[in-house]
Amino acid sequence: MKILLLGGSGQVGFELRRTLVLLGEVDAPNRHELDLGDARAVSGYLEQSRPDLIVNAAAWTAVDKAEESRDAAYQLNAALPEQLAGYASQHHIALVHYSTDYVYPGDGDEAWREDSPTEPLSVYGASKLAGDRAIQSSGCSHLVFRTSWVYAARGHNFMKTMLRLGHERDALKIVDDQIGAPTPARLIAQVSTLAIPPLLSARLGSGIYHLAPRGETSWHGFASEIFHQAEGQGESLMINPAQVVGIPTVEYPTPAARPLNSRLSVEKLEQALGIKMPEWRTQLALTLEEHISR
C-alpha cells in the first residue's frame, strides 16, 4: 500500500512517519517538494503519486495569527482537506485527517461528544470545522480525529516551553480555567495506525472520532505536572513549584478566543476499536522521558 502523508515534518506527522511504515510505503513530501498552499501543485502531486491512502497531518496551527491571516488559515485547514477528500472520493481511496476541540463553543463542563453542537470561537476553529464538513460531505471513506492540546518531544509546544521557562525562571503565571486533556503526538500516531486497517476493510465506519487521553487538567495543572515529573526524572529546574500561580483566562488576553471547556469524550473511539485510552499523566511521563533522554 502506498501512503501519502502530508505534514510529515510536524509534530504529529513525524510520529506518523514512524508508525505508518508498518502499513506500507510512506511518501512524505516536505514543503520544498510540495507547496500545500498551491492547489495546482497538490493536484499534480496527487496524480503523479497515485496513493492508496492519504493521511493529512498538515494544518495552519498558529491560532492567534489566523485572526489576521484568515485566507492562509482557510487554505490549509479547509480548502486543502476539501481537495484531498475530492480526490479520495473520485479514486475510491480513504483519507485520514486531524481536527481540533476548537470547533466546539467551549462552554459548560461536560465532555464534548462527536455529535455535540459546534460553534467555533476563532478563525482557526472555524477553518478546521470547514475542513471537517468538506470531508464529511465528499462521500469518501474517512476518519477525522478531533484531538486537543497536542505536544511532543520535538517541535514547538507547551511542554517544551514550560521546560525552558522552568530552567530560566523561579515563578510563573499559568491559565487555570481552561480544561482539557494534553495529547502526545505519539499517541495520535499509534491510534491512527491501529484504526486504518479496520477502516480499509470497512470494519470501522467513516466518521469523526475524538482522540485524546483519559482524564482532564488545566494548563496550570499541566505545567505543574510537567515540572513535578521532570524533576522526578532528574531535571534540575530553577522554578519553585509553589510559585506556579494559576490565573483566569481574562488575565491572559490573546487575539483569538480560547475555549474554556476542551474536554473530549473518547467512548466512541474506544468502543469502535476495542481499546481503552491511557491516562494523560502516564503519556506525559513517556514524552518527557523521550525528550530528556535525547
Q: How far apart are CA 174 and CA 248, in angstroms?
A: 8
- Mean pLDDT, residues 196-209: 96
SS3 assignment, position 12: helix
* Each residue's pLDDT tens digit, 105-126: 999 999 999 999 999 999 999 9
Q: How far apart are CA 84 and CA 87, in angstroms?
A: 5
Q: Where are the beta strands (DSSP E) in 78-153?
A: 94-100, 141-147, 150-151
- Mean pLDDT, residues 33-43: 95
Q: How far apart are CA 94 and CA 84, in angstroms?
A: 10
Percent share of the chain, pLDDT over 70 = 100
Residues 252, 170: contact at Cβ < 8 Å?
no
SS3 assignment, position 29: coil
Structure confidence at residue 293 (pLDDT): 83
Structure confidence at residue 242 (pLDDT): 83
Nearest of 101, 30, 35, 36 to residue 63 by alpha carbon: 101
Q: Cα 100–183–189 angle (5° rounding)?
A: 85
Structure confidence at residue 190 (pLDDT): 98
Residues 214, 273: contact at Cβ < 8 Å?
no
Q: Which structural domains are found in the chain, ordered by start?
A: 2-157+182-214+263-278 (3.40.50.720)
Q: Cα 282–288–293 angle (5° rounding)?
A: 130
Amino acid letter, 277: M
Helix (H) / strand (E) containing 99: strand 94-100
* Each residue's pLDDT tens digit, 129-173: 999 999 999 999 999 999 999 999 998 999 999 999 999 999 999
Known catalytic membership, residue 209: no
Residues 148, 212: contact at Cβ < 8 Å?
yes
- Mean pLDDT, residues 9-25: 96
Residues 99, 147: contact at Cβ < 8 Å?
yes
Catalytic entry in 74, 98, 102, 124: 124
- C-alpha grid cell for residue 271? 468502543
- Mean pLDDT, residues 201-212: 96
Query: In whole numbers, what is the pLDDT of the chain averaged over residues?
Result: 96
pLDDT at 288 over 80: yes
* Each residue's pLDDT tens digit, 50-96: 999 999 999 999 999 999 999 999 999 999 999 999 999 999 999 99
| Banded pLDDT at 235 (limits 50, 70, 90) | confident
